Amino acid sequence: MTDVFAAPPAVRVPVRGGGTFPVRRIFCVGRNYADHAKEMGAAPGDPVFFTKPADAIVVDGVVPYASATQDLHHEVELVVALGPDATVFGYAVGLDLTRRDLQTAAKQKGLPWDTGKAFDHSAPIGEIVRASEVGDLGPRTLSLAINGEERQRSKLDQMIWDVPAILASLSKFWELKAGDLVFTGTPAGVAALQPGDRFEARLDDVLHLQGEVLPPV
């Protein structure tokens, strides 16, 4: 049997040192830093999971301002990239872009977050670096600057669930597979992006992402 139309191309993220990482699914953790949960008005509790489609990934840093929102927010996050047998292949930094106005309205009505979280171009990500090159995560610092001004900064030891705990918890609900990416949550300091903004995210000098928000299409 042949496809009735051309299959969409696989989503791939470059790996430092060569090769590409084929993306299968994107899992996201919400409320994984106490200071961010607090700024969102959430009561202390366990982190939550949601997902984005694989083709929300942006690898060239070019992010069009999202449609249907007046409040597009940045959330800088450590991203875990899973290899065969759901082992940690590597890490990247990414932005969990959020239509905050739509997410807030959905929360108030007890409705799903998809329009606020799982939209096109909502997951810009930097190159993936092998776990052995990144080493111990706890002492490392995640940060985001917009137009050269720092907006978010946290050591990774501030995560409520660390990476092994996230993977253990996710595994209760899904059979994790090679190609899965996990956005591990954001620290405090989330705020609005504007068309023309330039963003630069890093994990110390190990992981890097930079790019620009374009005018709406």
Provide the binding-site residues for Mn ion, judged by CB under 5 A.
Answer: 75, 96, 186
Q: Which is nearer to Mn ion, 75 or 180 (CB)?
A: 75
Q: Which is nearer to Mn ion, 20 or 53 (CB)?
A: 53
How far is residue 68's CA from residue 107's CA, in Å, rounded to a whole number? 17
Minimum CB distance to Mn ion smaller for 75 or for 200: 75
By beta-carbon distance, which residue lies closest to Mn ion?
Answer: 96
DSSP classification of residue 54: G
Of 13 and 76, nearer to Mn ion (C-beta) is 76
In whole angstroms, the minimum distance from the beta carbon of 72 to Mn ion comes to 13
How far apart are CB 36 and Mn ion at their closest, in Å?
8
- Please give the full DSSP string across the chain, using - where no structure is assigned: ---SSPPPPPPEEEBTTS-EEE---EEEEES-BHHHHHHTTPPS---EEEEE-GGGEESSSEEEPPTT-S-EEE-EEEEEEE-GGG-EEEEEEEE--EEHHHHHHHHHHT--SHHHHS-TT-EEB--BEEHHHH---TT-EEEEEETTEEEEEEEGGGBSS-HHHHHHHHTTTS---TT-EEE----S--EE--TT-EEEEEETTTEEEEEEEEPP-
Residue 184: CB minimum distance to Mn ion, A = 8
- For residues 59 and 98, which CB has a smaller minimum distance to Mn ion in the complex? 98
Nearer to Mn ion, 96 or 180 (CB): 96
Q: How far is the CB of 215 from Mn ion (least distance, A)?
A: 24
Nearest distance, CB of residue 32 and Mn ion, angstroms? 8
Choose among 165, 168, 108, 113: nearest CA to 137. 165
In the complex, the smallest distance separating the C-beta of residue 95 from Mn ion, rounded to whole angstroms, is 9
